[in-house]
Structure 1
Amino acid sequence: MTTPEFILDIRATAGNRLLLLPSVTAVVFDDRGRVLLGRRTDNGQWALVGGIAEPGEQPALTAVREVYEETAVRCVPERVILVQMLKPITYPNGDVCQFQDITFRCRATGGEARVNDSESLEVAWFAVDALPPLERFALHRIDLALRDEPTWFEAPEETEGLEEMAE
């Protein structure tokens, strides 16, 4: 995965320390109800399309941009289905990142699904009842995107953090 230039600039002074980064995931459906997936070059696994927001970029635009950059598919975000702070990740070079993910349900509006950058080995549409092996991350988001429910988020424990807020 290519590291955005603005992150390289931050790393020049922050070193490997934890960076909190805004990210998006796009669950894109076509008019046949199939979901768009890419097989990643870094681990060979099928995954949803996603990426890091550029400075000043609205999350919905990040979803549209990432889908097009990676798959050549045009899409329109329909709704936010999930907001979640992910666990910190330590990369092989020692860099530590924590992503705040906003997942969008999107509708494909054009383009032909194909590998459109160096981040994917393959790109394809899959029927939701015939998905390739996917991590829980993707399965959970696809499941939520298929429902007509409010945005999902992890609710805080009833007393978690209340002591600090009261002071």
Structure 2
Amino acid sequence: MATPDFIRDLRAFAGHQLLWLPGVTAVVFDDAGRVLLGRRSDTGRWALIGGIPEPGEQPAVCAVREVEEETAVRCVVERLVLTQALDPVTYENGDVCQFMDLTFRCRAVGGEARVNDDESLEVGWFTVDALPDLKEFGRSRIKHALSEGPTWFEPAGTP
């Protein structure tokens, strides 16, 4: 994930200390029920598409923007799937971030899936029963996006 300019500006003052940041994840389905994934250039692993909203940008707008920027697929957001505070991450340069992830179920409405920026090595559509090696983060979000249940969140008082 490319670091937005506003975070670089924050780091000039904050150094490597923990930054609490919003993040969005898009679970994009096509009409055949396949899910859109990108193989990340930073880790080499397959993952859902996501990113960080710009200041003042609505999270759903960010999800649509990130999908098109990274994959050339146009999509619409159908619903909020889950919200979750993730564990802090320490990057190779020592920067520490913790993300509040908002995951959206999206529907593809146009475009052809392709690598559209330097954040992905490959982009593709996968049936949910034949996913590539995908971390539990992605698998659980796909599962929640397929359910018709309410938005998932960690209930108050849960350890």
TM (norm. structure 1) is 0.93
Query: 2:11 maps to which residue?
Result: 11
Q: Is 1:71 aligned to 2:71, yes or no? A: yes
**Displaced runs of 4+ in structure 1, greater than 4 A?**
none
TM-superposed CA distance for 1:156, in Å, is: 2.2
User: Where do 1:14-163 residues align within 5 Å?
Assistant: 14-157=14-157
RMSD: 1.0
| Structure 1 runs not aligned, ≥5 long | 161-167
Letter aligned with residue 61 of structure 2: L
What's the CA shift for 1:43? 1.0
Cα distance in 2 for residues equivalent to 1:147 and 1:44: 29
What are structure 2's unaligned runs of at least 5 residues?
Answer: none
Identity %: 70
Residue 138 of structure 2 aligns to a residue in which SS? helix
Q: Which structure has the larger Rg?
A: 1
In the alignment of these two chains, the number of paired residues is 159
Deviations 1:9-61 (A, max 9, x none): 00000100110110100000000000000000111110000000100000000
Q: State the AA in 1 paired with 2:97.
A: C
**For 1:107 and 1:152, how far apart are their aligned partners in 2?**
19
Distance between the aligned counterparts of 1:124 and 1:60, measured in 2? 22
Counterpart Cα distance in 2 of 1:120 and 1:128: 20
Residue identity matched to 2:64: V
- Cα distance in 2, alignment partners of residues 134 and 73 from structure 1: 20
Q: TM-score, normalised by structure 2?
A: 0.98
Separation in structure 1 between the aligned mates of residue 12 and residue 41 of structure 2, nearest angstrom: 26
CA distance in 2, matches of 1:3, 1:128: 30
